[in-house]
Chain A
């Protein structure tokens, strides 16, 4: 097999999903809010980017979507971020009242409603057929380097930027307030902080990054079908965060790297039969489940990734 191509794919996917994992880490690891609907920001960004940049539907094609604005790539990218912000605002206001598993359910419900909308509303994005052949940005201009490598570098730069921003936030007084929100909300209230404001703010400032990662994702896949944006994305990111050890940005990145490498390695195994490939794919799901169970219980990397901080309980 081609290890060069493998490395490029891994770097791209780790960078894209790494950003989503960092977002989840900020929400859950730092601020203690369980979000089971992270995929919704990711999907909102991906679809918004396409709707803003794609060509209007032609009369002759089988396309059923109605929006295609043909705007420049950068407008689409900013639009994706704004879509994440809007979605976070819609899903964020319940967070002012809900905690723990009830928040998990509400965010999950919002994500599923959005997914159903994408699947059922043909006029939005062709329903289950999805949008295919999404043009890759600046395809003509990038001639000096293989496009896949350029995209991998771009995604990696984006990841590094998000990582640096999030690290700064975590180390700031604001970041410590978020940790207090997670560990002892009552204490935070007694020192005069408005906890409900923090809860909404975390959703609002993190979601746009996940949405922008969604735009990177359609550049990578060149298509957007509902199957790419299921609850499985949410759970993969969760597994990555748990494996790496929550409340640590470094841990989040270690976790997503392990999960992506694992998934891509399984994908490269050559199978003689379709049945064999199918069994491998399902056993991969089972293995991810075992990873989640084992890492939640023993937290083997927790000591490694945040030696000085106590475990989240």
Chain B
């Protein structure tokens, strides 16, 4: 029984992880580096929503929509001003720079928001049981949100012209450019989409529980785990990885104290990097090394 309960919990966690990782994985695939600042963008969205919703009394959905637009634009601006000019220095320098961006975003967010625990003003929905398994309605909402976001991203990448440009660019930037793909436009779309997805992840975080300014940094660790497990494969790899990591973390509660949940994610990172660096869905010899 406890196992089934934890699996249900894990599916909810997986939905959140998927939302949090989609944008990160997109940037990693297209722009070729690990953007540590992604989690801080989540935090910006969460606190913008909180401010508009709880402090100014806006409707939650409106507040959320404004926050998503804001993180989309912010993501685009950061990319243009900070990442693009140093692209030639390689993924390692970009990674370290993104740590600087994370510091910057974190410092500003925390200075503005201050200490304390915050939460959205949304209706309190009580949990119900199905066959003895406790189900939290908001976790179902997240699952729906994650499904919608994944399908929307899949349709965008597969059906639209910009989406196809992004995929072409992810495979071979120079070739795509020389074949007439508008690389700058595709790059802008990537950053904007990634920012909006980070925003969704941040709002999901606020729906799941309460917010503190330190919450984002704790998430980047797990996001990295999901992205590494997913490898540089497709969107489906990210979906699989989000649920694998989430289930592993939540099922670990059977044998380990709760404080070790992040450790489980990290143990997975280490194992994957050592034994299958291309990730669950990647092809051999493409990633790592």
Number of residue pairs spanning A and B whose beta carbons lie under 8 angstroms apart = 132
How far apart sit A293 and B78, CA to CA, in the bound complex (Å)? 11
User: Are B273 and A291 in contact, CB atoms less than 8 angstroms apart?
Assistant: no
> CB < 8 Å: which of B82, B90, B114, B273 contacts A106?
B273
Interface residues of A in 237-289 (CB under 8 A from B): 238-239, 242, 275, 278-279, 282-289
- Chain B nearest Cβ from A205, distance in angstroms: 23
Chain B hits for A34, CB < 8 A: 92, 95-96
Assess the B273–A102 pair: CB atoms within 8 A: yes
Contact string against B for A residues 131-159, beta-carbon threshold 8 Å, 1 for contact and 0 otherwise: 00000000000000000000000000000
Stretch of A44-52, A73-81, A93-101 with 4 or more beta carbons under 8 angstroms from chain B: A93-101
B269, closest chain A residue (CB): A109
The interface on chain B, measured as residues whose beta carbon lies within 8 A of the other chain's beta carbons, has a size of 45
Q: Is the CB of A101 within 8 A of B86?
A: no
| Across-interface contacts of A288 in B (CB, < 8 A) | 100, 103, 107
Q: Quick check: A113 and B267 within 8 Å, CB to CB?
A: yes
User: Would you call B117 an interface residue if the criterion is a C-beta within 8 Å of the partner chain's C-beta atoms?
Assistant: no
Do B82 and A293 touch (CB < 8 A)?
yes
In the assembled complex, the Cα of A105 lies from the Cα of B82 at a distance in Å of 22
- A109 and B92 in contact (CB under 8 A), knowing A120-B260, A282-B111, A285-B103? no
B199 in contact (CB, < 8 A): no
Interface string of A152-189 (1 = CB under 8 A from B): 00000000000000000000000000000000000000
Say yes or no: A289 contacts B102, CB within 8 Å. yes
Please pick, from B100, B263, B288, the residue contacting A98 in the complex, using a CB distance under 8 A: B288
Which residues from A are CB-within-8-Å of B45?
A: none
Q: Provide the residues of chain A in CB contact with B34, threshold 8 Å.
A: 101, 105
The 15 listed contacts between A and B (C-beta, < 8 Å) are A34-B92, A97-B274, A99-B288, A100-B92, A102-B273, A105-B228, A235-B103, A275-B114, A278-B114, A282-B111, A286-B103, A292-B97, A297-B85, A297-B97, A313-B89
